[in-house]
Amino acid sequence: MSKKETKNDLAIETLGLTKIYGSGNTEVVAMKDASMQVHNGEVVALLGPSGSGKSTFLAAVGLINPPTSGKVFIGGQLTLDGGEAYTNLRSFRRHHIGFIFQKSNLIPFLTAVENVQIALELNGETPRAGRKRAMELLDYLGVADRADNLPSMLSGGQQQRVAVARALANRPSVILADEPTAALDSSRGRQVMELFAQVAHEQGAGVIVVTHDHRALDIFDTIYEMEDGLMQRKIQHAESSV
């Protein structure tokens, strides 16, 4: 009974995620038996050296690139078991998951505001309402003045902030960010991290952020570290470890 309650409280749960690329001589085990639990409202930092499997883990949790084996639960619902999908992954992503990637990933033929708006429209928002909310988000992230610029006319940091706006647009229950602050100066970077924490706490979303920026670690509730595909929980802050 109590276990079930705990499950219901979980935004993300992964069980023994393993990802093997290639086969035979070229076989690469990118991720081995990685398990993690993220509660609603919890903000998790994922650290680890380059090539340790962080992006691979995020792609599996984000239902983008399924693991070779292992289970992914989102909001208590089994979504992936190995390569097998238990729901319409694309529609699930649209409704529940917000992404920010290592490289900025904006659609080059849409302006900044349209890049945010499209995510809202895909989720059934009207163009008018979508545009209004997109503008609010851009304003909040300090890029409203560049709303009508194409991504190619924005700096790396501005692009990243537009991507953050898009990820938050549909009020997802899970936010996955892969080095979102790499292109930002440290104060902007910290601001974005704080924004994630705020969204997590206000909306009860589960957030995983891959980061190399050790200065902002105090913001996170929990810290995991990956090494050679292995997942390890490092620190759990007092407030969420009760």
Ligand X SMILES: Nc1ncnc2c1ncn2[C@@H]1O[C@H](COP(=O)(O)OP(=O)(O)OP(=O)(O)O)[C@@H](O)[C@H]1O
Please, which residue, 117 or 211, has the CB nearer to other proteins?
117
Q: Which does 224 bind (CB under 5 to 8 A by kind): Mg ion, ligand X, other proteins, none?
A: none
Nearest to ligand X of 40, 181 (CB atom): 181
Q: Which residue has the tokens 């994922």?
A: 46
Question: Least CB distance from residue 196 to other proteins, whole Å?
Answer: 18
Minimal distance, residue 85 CB to ligand X, in Å: 19
The answer to whether 228 and 30 have CB atoms below 8 angstroms apart is: no
Helices (H), the chain: 2-8, 54-61, 89-96, 112-122, 127-140, 156-169, 186-203
Q: Which is nearer to Mg ion, 14 or 55 (CB)?
A: 55
- Applying CB under 6 A, among 10, 15, 20, 28 the residue interacting with ligand X is 28
Composition of the chain by helix, strand, coil, percent to 5: 40, 30, 30
- Site size with other proteins, rule: CB under 8 A: 30
**Contact with ligand X (CB under 6 A): which of 41, 48, 62, 157?**
48
Least distance to Mg ion, CB of residue 55, Å: 3
Nearer to ligand X by Cβ, of 55 and 170: the residue is: 55
Contact between 52 and ligand X (CB under 6 A)?
A: yes
Contacts of 8 (CB under 8 A, 6+ apart): 76
> Do residues 83 and 89 lie in contact, with contact meaning Cβ atoms separated by under 8 Å?
no
Q: Does 114 bind other proteins (CB under 8 A)?
A: yes
39 interacts with other proteins by CB under 8 A? no
Determine the Cα–Cα distance for residues 140 and 217; give it in Å rounded to an integer: 23
In the β-sheet with 174-178, what is the strand arrangement from edge to edge?
Answer: 97-100, 174-178, 206-210, 43-47, 222-227, 230-236
Residues near 88 by Cβ (< 8 Å), separated by ≥ 6?
Answer: none
Q: 16-55: which residues touch Mg ion (CB under 5 A)?
A: 55
Span near other proteins by CB under 8 A; candidates 4-12, 77-85, 89-97, 220-228: 89-97
CB-wise, 94 or 188, nearer to other proteins?
A: 94
Long-range contacts of residues 26-30, Cβ cutoff 8 Å, at least 24 apart: 29/229, 30/56, 30/229
Q: Which residues bind other proteins (CB under 8 A)?
A: 55, 59, 64-65, 90-95, 99, 101-103, 105, 107-110, 114, 117-119, 121-123, 127, 130, 150, 166
